[in-house]
Amino acid sequence: MNWKSEKLIFLLMVIAFITLYFLPVGNPRFDNAMMEALALTKWYAREHVLLCLVPAFFIAGAISIFLSQQSVMRFLGPKAPRLMSYGVASVSGTILAVCSCTVLPLFAGIYTMGAGLGPATAFLYSGPAINILAIVLTAKVLGVKLGIARALGAILFSLIVGALMAWLFRKSESDRHAASADSPKDEGGRPLIHNATFFFAMVGILVFANWGKSDNTTGIFHALFVWKWGITSGFAVLLGIILTAWFDVRAWKLLLTAALTTIVATIFPHGPTWPFVTATTGVTVSAMTTGGEMRAWVESTWEFTKQILPLLLIGVLIAGFALGRPGYEGMIPSGWVTSLVGGNSFGANFFSSVAGAFMYFATLTEVPILQGLLGSGMGQGPALALLLAGPALSLPNMLIISSVLGTKKTLVFVGTVIVMATITGMLFGIIA
């Protein structure tokens, strides 16, 4: 018998027993916090999982199957023009559904294969900071202003951070042995227009299925909201045509899916849930039964779903318990939150930046956490500061970066992000 492991099991059992024994059931604040946790999780499951997360999982799965490493290295490698390499690195996160730790192997591979420090750190920041799912979810849940500010701020951050790192360490970078191999050559395969149109259709479904109602009753945004399901259906038809024409999915499978979706929409005309489930299920079955890269696409999508969805729902549950929903309190009194991150002071923005930098946010969990904080009195500026510093950094992330870049470069990278997030948060707080 391994007494060391048995002692650990015994200790965990004792801790669990003591926790349950002294669980403050019956305490009004505790009971209310439990209800808030369940209420917030229920709301997320109904409002965000199907229309927001599911399409994004399919996009993430497609990226891993249809976007070649050769293409990535051609744009970020040492032979790439500087304008192109920084441009690609700064917006790469819009199509990557990764967290601050998941992006590390990609960053390490790019850097060790010869990518410059500037583009590599721009990619390191932008990867988890501005993936398309985070942008859409932030705008949908926290407001359009905060969503746009996060997207623009993260792109500018990645450019500035990358350029600053390259300039500060230009001497050591010039001494670093550059990769001797030429930029990877294309291996043939599917034409670029096929993949680009494929991604365009899926992103269109994601964006317009989640298009929010405008405060105005006129104008283009209101018109897009009124026609959102017609536009979403148009992108779905485009996706079906693409899958049939270029990805070898049999037309009768997608036609059957379209017919079943129409029937379900007729039976349940007051909401998109069941028609959307029917369409998604039909596309999934069609792709799985086609085999080859279509089956690989679904399998990759499932891997992303397993990785992200449980953590997201756990994050929502914890956020609801600790902070409640907007307008409702959880275990933490709103007065505590207001005293630390309320208003738009330097201290509030700096605290948000530092706390966000050291906390670990699984992909998208920052959104429900911030929703609870905003409902408890957090200022708009500190909220943006946390959004710009949090998802891109974490304590385990810093440790791995240090092993790749060294301590000095890591400290400069982290310090730059914190300082810029603090300043940007203060400016946004003034404007907002």
Residue 178 lies in a domain: no
d(CA 304, CA 209): 20
| All residues at 6 or more sequence positions from 377 whose CB lies less than 8 Å from its CB, including other chains | 334, 335, 337, 338, 341, 342
Asked if residue 71 has pLDDT above 70, the reply is no
Q: Which of these ranges, 17-31, 73-87, 349-363, 388-402, has the smallest mean pLDDT?
A: 73-87
Q: Which residues contact residue 64 at a Cβ distance below 8 angstroms, ignoring those fewer than 6 apart?
A: 300, 304
Most distant CA pair in the chain: distance in Å? 74
Cα 245 to Cα 55, 59, 242, 251, 298: the distances in Å are: 21, 19, 5, 9, 18
Is 266 inside a domain boundary?
yes
**Angle at alpha carbon of residue 404, lines to 401 and 410, rounded to 5°:** 45
- Measure the CA–CA gap between 412 and 393, rounded to whole angstroms: 13
Residue 211 inside a domain? The answer is yes
Q: How far is CA 238 from the centre of its chain?
A: 25
Q: How is residue 116 written in tokens? A: 């410059």
Domain that includes residue 367, residue range: 32-170+192-431
Q: Report pLDDT for 184.
A: 47
* Mean of all residue pLDDT scores within the chain: 82
d(CA 180, CA 118): 19
Instruction: Give the C-alpha separation, 318 to 312, whole Å.
Output: 10
Digit-coded pLDDT (tens) for 126-159? 877 776 767 777 888 888 888 889 888 888 898 9
Helix intervals (H) in 178-272: 192-209, 220-226, 228-246, 251-267
Q: Report DSSP state, residue 94.
A: G
Assess if residue 18 is contained within a domain.
Answer: no
177-183-187 Cα angle (round to 5)? 145
312 assigned to some structural domain: yes
Q: How much of the chain, in percent, has pLDDT values that exceed 90?
A: 27
Q: What gap in Å lies between CA 235 and CA 241, rounded to an integer?
A: 10
Written as one letter, the residue type at 425 is G
Task: Specify which of 153-157, 266-270, 356-360, 425-429 reaches the highest per-range mean pLDDT.
Answer: 425-429
Question: What number of residues does the chain have?
Answer: 432
pLDDT at position 180 is: 42
Give the separation between CA 304 and CA 316, rounded to whole angstroms: 18
pLDDT band at residue 172, thresholds of 50, 70 and 90? confident
16 is a domain residue = no
CB 277 within 8 A of CB 244: no
pLDDT tens for each residue of 285-320: 999 999 889 999 999 889 878 877 887 788 788 878
Q: Which helix (H) or strand (E) holds 38?
A: helix 28-44
The answer to whether residue 12 is domain-embedded is no
Least confident piece of the model among 142-151, 207-216, 384-393:
207-216
Whether the CA torsion 400, 404, 155, 309 is positive or negative: it is negative
The alpha-carbon radius of gyration of the chain (Å, integer) is 23
The answer to whether residues 236 and 276 touch, using CB atoms and an 8 Å cutoff, is no
Q: How far is CA 193 from the centre of its chain?
A: 26
Element (H, E) at 370: helix 366-375
Does any domain span residue 3? no
**Tokens read off for 201:** 């259709």
pLDDT digits (tens, 9 = 90+) for 22-64: 989 889 889 999 998 898 888 878 877 888 888 888 887 887 7
CA distances from 108 to 121, 171, 222, 397, 416 (A): 10, 20, 44, 12, 20
Instruction: Report the sign of the C-alpha dihedral through residues 95, 97, 103, 106, in that order.
Output: negative
pLDDT at residue 179, as a whole number: 45
Place of tokens 């015994």: 10
Decide: 131 and 197 in contact? Cβ < 8 Å: no
Which secondary-structure segment (H or E) carries 23? none
Distances (CA, A) of 221 to 135, 168, 208, 215: 18, 44, 11, 9
**What is the pLDDT at residue 219?**
76
Sorted by sequence, the CB contacts under 8 Å of residue 396 that are 6+ apart come out as: 101, 360
Pick from 205, 184, 190, 124: nearest CA to 397:
124
Instruction: Give the span between the Cα atoms of 197 and 219, in whole angstroms.
Output: 28
Counted domains in the chain: 1
Which is more confident, 369 or 361? 369
Handedness of CA 38, 140, 269, 202 (dihedral sign): negative
pTM passes above 0.75: no
Q: Residue 77 above 70 pLDDT?
A: no
